[in-house]
Amino acid sequence: MFFIFYNYIMSILVSLYAAVLFFLLTPAILLRLPPSGNKFTVAAVHALVFALIFHLTHKLVWRLGARLEGMGGMDEEEGEEEDSELDVNSRKTK
């Protein structure tokens, strides 16, 4: 039950991040690229900038939110369990 609530909160956090990023990258808020382009060209360039920045940073925001919620070690523990299972399986085949 806790994990469902945790994922819900984290999804809301990432959605809020996306909304703020979208607002900041709206033409003429922080930047206007290209300066002399028509409205469709400017909108397309800003859409690409948003997509690129969001793609590169959304996992970072998720992990930062996990650390703030005190759940930062969850991913590491799961990775250790997978590694130990691989070690057991490799020993069985030898």
Q: Going residue by residue through the chain (94 aa), what tens digit of pLDDT does each one get? A: 677 787 888 889 999 999 999 999 999 898 888 888 899 999 999 999 999 999 999 999 989 888 887 765 555 444 444 455 555 555 555 5
C-alpha 33/C-alpha 40 separation (Å) is 11
C-alpha 39/C-alpha 53 separation (Å) is 21
Q: What is the pLDDT of residue 76?
A: 46
Tell me the CB-side half-sphere exposure of residue 10, using CA atoms within 13 A.
21
61 and 89 in contact (C-beta within 8 Å)?
no
| Helices 39-68 and 74-93: angle between axes, nearest 10 degrees | 80
Whether the model clears a pTM of 0.85, i.e. scores above it, the answer is: no
Please give the structure tokens belonging to residue 62: 């998720």
Q: What is the pLDDT of residue 67?
A: 86
Q: What is the pLDDT of residue 54?
A: 97
